[in-house]
Amino acid sequence: MTTQAWTSRVRHDSDATFREWGSEFSAKLLAVGLTQTADTGQINWTTVTRPGANTDAGYEIWRFNDTAHATTPIFIRFDYGTGSSTTAPRIRVTVGSGSNGSGTITGTAPFTVNNLGTASTGSAVDTTYNSYMCYVAAIGAFGVMWKNGFGSAFQLFISRDVDSSGVATTDGCNVVINGQSFLTTACMRLSTGTITTKHNSVANAQLCLDPFTPGSSTVGSDFQAYVGFGCFPRVKPVLGYCGVRNSEIPEATTFTVALVGGTTRTYIGGPNHPNLSASSALKPAMIWE
């Protein structure tokens, strides 16, 4: 099964609650089909203790499990810890093309974001939040929308580029990270080992082609979905996410569309999240198959 949807709390006020949300996230990575590496020193969710403010307690390294792995692998390091408040959960991410076997992401185009969310937002209550995760090896796409509505909620999309038929190629991957107070993107040229573009606080139009930014996308009773692009360095589409309008596709709404080529794929609408949808422009819908 490549999709995971769950509703749970996200407390971070004890060793037990840190282990709870961290091991939950880790289990979902396995459930959607990513492969955890054998790197030494990875976090032990049975014994790890909650760290102090602005500190990581440990890491895990995962990789894509697709046909392109042999030539252009994608590795992801997740660091789990505490933000600037002692009750604030923190996840950091590093994306690259290799690992040294003991926790260091290697390769020619590493990309790191320090916090997936607002580090100062704490949690010591039992409010529950919705999360979604998906990995589709056939198009080289991974996505997660974690704890929608929570102060440290985030969205992460990693997508290989595709050709005009919608078939994944080995030029590179597009990384999009959307937190409560920031948006960061990068295009990694896996084939040559460089980052062709990297942006912070990127406008919606730089992620998806949205001609003239109309207030509504509907034509009759049909809404439209907008294709995401990256520079590898040639501008090419990705299929891990697309753009939709919040008023037309509410959170958790699924739909099918052939974005590139003739193959129809399923997507799920995300929340009305800062940086990508609060301005009433496009928000992402994530691959959901």
Domain parsing of the chain, residue ranges: 3-287
Q: Check residue 70 and report its DSSP letter.
A: G
pLDDT of residue 28: 98
CA atoms within 13 Å, Cβ hemisphere of 4: 24
pLDDT of residue 178: 80
Amino acid symbol at 205: A
Give the burial class of 97: count Cβ atoms within 10 A of its Cβ; 0-12 exposed, 13-18 middle, 19 or more buried: buried
pLDDT of residue 22: 96
pLDDT tens string 197-243: 666 655 544 577 777 778 788 898 899 999 998 888 888 999 999 98
pLDDT of residue 1: 58
Which helix H or strand E contains 48, and what residues bound it?
none
Regarding pTM above 0.85, the answer is yes
pLDDT of residue 204: 47
DSSP per-residue string spanning 166-223? S-EEEEEEEEEEEESS-EEEEEEETTTTEEEEEEES--GGGTB--TT--S---BTTB-
pLDDT of residue 213: 75
DSSP per-residue string spanning 244-263? EETTTS-TT-EEEE--SSS-
Alpha-carbon dihedral sign for residues 248, 240, 154, 252: positive
Q: What residues form DSSP beta bridges with 56?
A: 81
Task: Return d(Cα 235, Cα 85) in angstroms, integer.
Answer: 40
Residues 159, 152: contact at Cβ < 8 Å? no
Radius of gyration of the chain (CA): 18
Helix intervals (H) in the chain: 15-32
Q: Is 105 helix (H, G, I), strand (E, B) or coil?
A: strand
Instruction: For Cα atoms 168, 137, 205, give the angle at the middle one, nearest 5 degrees.
Output: 55
Task: Return d(Cα 132, Cα 130) in angstroms, integer.
Answer: 7
Cα(first)–Cα(last) distance of the chain, in Å?
Answer: 8
Residues 112, 94: contact at Cβ < 8 Å? yes
Instruction: For Cα atoms 132, 137, 143, give the angle at the middle one, nearest 5 degrees.
Output: 25
Residues 121, 141: contact at Cβ < 8 Å? no
* Residue with token string 């529950």: 128
Task: Return d(Cα 150, Cα 130) in angstroms, integer.
Answer: 9
Could you state, in chain order, the average pLDDT of each consecutive group of 10 residues for the chain (289 residues)?
A: 92 95 97 98 98 95 94 93 88 89 82 60 80 96 92 87 92 82 74 68 60 83 90 89 89 96 95 60 88
Q: Check residue 18 and report its DSSP letter.
A: H
Q: What does the CA dihedral 137, 204, 133, 286 come to, rounded to 10 degrees?
A: -60
